Amino acid sequence: MKCHGEVEFEWKKKDYSITHVENNISIAECNKQETERLYSTVEELLDYEIDGEPLRKIVTRLIVWDRTI
């Protein structure tokens, strides 16, 4: 995520997107702007909770369906 890549993934039948916005890393459930959070670092991003679990605990079990580098 350091060089402006984008990742879209599924977790528990919900789609999420991670991208860059104004020098920050954005994560949100797709089509739900109210869930968007902005982070300065990947370490902070990994604390984003999805269904009560931090991203860092579920990242290896996600279904990634699109990514750009």
Residue 34 falls inside a structural domain: yes
pTM of the model: 0.84
Residue 69 falls inside a structural domain: no
Residue 46 falls inside a structural domain: yes
DSSP for residue 51: T
Cα–Cα distance, 69 to 64 (Å, whole number): 14
Pick the closest to residue 19 from 6, 32, 35, 33 (CA basis).
Answer: 6
pLDDT tens digits along 16-69: 999 998 889 999 999 999 999 999 999 999 999 999 999 999 999 988 887 776
Residue 68 falls inside a structural domain: no
Give the chain's domain count. 1
Task: Place 2 in a pLDDT band, splitting at 50, 70 and 90.
Answer: very low
Residue 26 falls inside a structural domain: yes
| Amino acid 34: pLDDT | 95
The domain containing residue 46 runs over which residues? 6-63
